[in-house]
Chain A
Amino acid sequence: DTAVSQTPKYLVTQMGNDKSIKCEQNLGHDTMYWYKQDSKKFLKIMFSYNNKELIINETVPNRFSPKSPDKAHLNLHINSLELGDSAVYFCASRARRGGYGYTFGSGTRLTVV
């Protein structure tokens, strides 16, 4: 059983399209995250939800909109995709703040052409 699963694993799309990435965790964790990893491997937090409530919203273009229908799911919708959105997007979950580490999904490689 995969603890944090993301779909799709690869996504190739044209500029201007709208796309979604889905994430589900079966660990019973309260908090979920989206991170973006750029071509230089830098991991930057985008959003976090705790029990369906948005708690972190970093400086991300408003073309990116997270949605959490329940605490086990956190989806990422991206409107009007741009070339610079090409990256690997990681979903993660965490039991609680503080000393608890993340469990990451396997990542979604988004390529905008």
Chain B
Amino acid sequence: AQKVTQAQTEISVVEKEDVTLDCVYETRDTTYYLFWYKQPPSGELVFLIRRNSFDEQNEISGRYSWNFQKSTSSFNFTITASQVVDSAVYFCALSENRDDKIIFGKGTRLHILP
């Protein structure tokens, strides 16, 4: 069965610090997709990134970077030089290739303190 675990329920860091959000997944499928979504205090769910199981290359987008490691079934998300606007709940999610749905982890609430 597929499962996504975000062990960090809540994290607080001071602005400008780097912070990593952990995500561990379980799947029996060899082809699958991993996602990160952001939910700011305003409540909408914003897509950040998608990664397929055959592409272990790390990705960087501005201050955001993602580290995908199949050996440890992890897809971690790092924010460099955090800003107050990064305060949000972040969800890691998984979709198996033949599945009609995406399942979400329980989310990590990130507080960036000024």
Q: How large is the interface on B (under 10, 10 to 19, 20 to 34, 35 or more residues)?
A: 20 to 34
Dominant secondary structure of chain A at its interface with chain B: strand
A106 touches B107 (CB 8 A): no
Q: How large is the interface on A (under 10, 10 to 19, 20 to 34, 35 or more residues)?
A: 20 to 34
A104 touches B100 (CB 8 A): no
How long is the Cα–Cα vector from A31 to B102 in the complex, in angstroms? 12
Let me know if B84 is at the binding interface, CB within 8 A: no
How long is the Cα–Cα vector from A97 to B43 in the complex, in angstroms? 25
How long is the Cα–Cα vector from A98 to B101 in the complex, in angstroms? 8
Let me know if B85 is at the binding interface, CB within 8 A: no
Known: A99-B50, A101-B50. A45 touches B103 (CB 8 A): yes
Known: A101-B47, A106-B43. A43 touches B100 (CB 8 A): no
A residues whose Cβ falls under 8 Å from a Cβ of B:
31, 33, 40-43, 45, 48, 50, 55-56, 88, 90, 92, 94, 97-99, 101-104, 106-107, 109
B residues whose Cβ falls under 8 Å from a Cβ of A:
31, 33, 35, 39, 43-45, 47, 50, 52, 89, 91, 95, 97-104, 106-107, 109
